Amino acid sequence: MFLGILLCSGLAAATVDRPSSAVPPGKFLRKVTRENVKSRRWFRFSDTYFRWWGGVKTGSLPKGVSVSPDGQNVYVTNFGFKNRNNVYRYNPADLNVEARANFEGLSIESVVSRDGQTVYVSNFKKRCIEALDALTLEVKRTYSVGRLPKHFALTPDEKILVVSNWLDGKVSVVDIETGETIKRITVGEHPRGTAVNHAGTKVYVANFKSWSVSLIDTRTWEIIKTIRSCNRPRHIAISQDDSKVFVSCYTSSLVQVIDGETDKQIRRIRVGRGPKTIELSKDERFAYTADYKNNSLSIIDTTTWKVKIVPAPLWKASGLAVSPDDRRIYLTGFDSVNLVVFERFFPGDPITEPGPNGPTGDCRRFNPEACFKYP
């Protein structure tokens, strides 16, 4: 499909075997609109072909999505369900629900352990992180944290949970083995996105209301720097070599790129309106954002910094995750109550049939007045 994978200097690539030949589709979209994506499915950006594969209805108000390390399980957190159906586990082949979590509280975000055995879920209502069995979604253990925990991250050795507590303005550092809170660190107002660098030496916390990013040293668990960010920084992704830190800027509709060594801004990139989640492809050729106000997926080419904004068949894009082989991008539609799947094609990939389901992406709020469009 595309002629090769060019990587931006400073962005390290994961080693993935790729086929050597290409089978281009018969048609692809030159002008991307929502209806064209739904009817024609194919579009091209840079030298890469993408396709809207399909989607499926989720539980109420799907907030986040994560994928197991082997790509065989997809997890969606249903924020709109209280005390039941908090998380769905999907089979990615057909998007059938194979398990449901039922615990007291409200789910926000999820992170899967490297061995694929545990799914950690932030419980917004109960001030805790739930550790679920990755197959049955039964609660194995509960970790107490602060008020209204939203986002969180694991250290590379998976011994520590770092949790941003939205209402506290604090970050909880929790020992996974003992369950004890090692430290509570005061950061900015409404901390949200949390990411640990791959060396395990730094934690970045996006302070949504303070327009800043707190930088924490994991040796001392002290703040060593507060980085000026953007209007409503929400989510953070870090390159494999830790050289670049990507921050989604919700209100300013930008992605801020910070140098991982100097901690200074090196670039700002305009994306779709209201970017929430940001993720890097595993080969780091692309960065993706879920654009809440734009109902879209933004794709950033990290070799040229050009952007493609793709209207998606959903309403209020919220969660986003990339499959381990880079061939799928999962998006949740908060108000359309659906999970949407885009495919990325590599040279030699067969052109398989798209998914059997194609949700309309229409707003499904009980109150139609809540289905407004952003200006």
Report pLDDT for 366.
61
Q: Would you say residue 329 lies in a domain?
A: yes
Q: Would you say residue 2 lies in a domain?
A: no
Looking up residue 246, the CATH number of its domain turns out to be 2.130.10.10
Q: Would you say residue 26 lies in a domain?
A: no
pTM above threshold 0.75 = yes
pLDDT per position as a tens digit, 232-290? 999 999 999 999 999 999 999 999 999 999 999 999 999 999 999 999 999 999 999 99
Structural domain including 181 reads 34-370
pLDDT exceeds cutoff 60 at 1 = no
pLDDT exceeds cutoff 90 at 342 = yes
SS3 state at 32: coil
Q: Would you say residue 15 lies in a domain?
A: no
Give the DSSP H or E segment for 37.
helix 34-40
Report pLDDT for 41.
83
pLDDT exceeds cutoff 80 at 321 = yes
Q: Would you say residue 11 lies in a domain?
A: no
Contact criterion met (CB below 8 Å) for 138 and 117? no
| Sign of the CA dihedral running 79, 85, 90, 96 | negative
pLDDT exceeds cutoff 70 at 10 = no
Among 290, 306, 298, which Cα is nearest to 271's? 298
Instruction: Please tell me the total count of domains within the chain.
Output: 1
Q: Would you say residue 235 lies in a domain?
A: yes
Query: Of residues 241 and 356, which shows the higher confidence score?
Result: 241
Residue type at 136? T
pLDDT per position as a tens digit, 148-192? 999 999 999 999 999 999 999 999 999 999 999 999 999 999 999
Q: Would you say residue 375 lies in a domain?
A: no
Report pLDDT for 356.
79
Q: Would you say residue 14 lies in a domain?
A: no
Cα first-last separation, the chain: 36
pLDDT per position as a tens digit, 199-238? 999 999 999 999 999 999 999 999 999 999 999 999 999 9
Residue with tokens 């109150």: 367
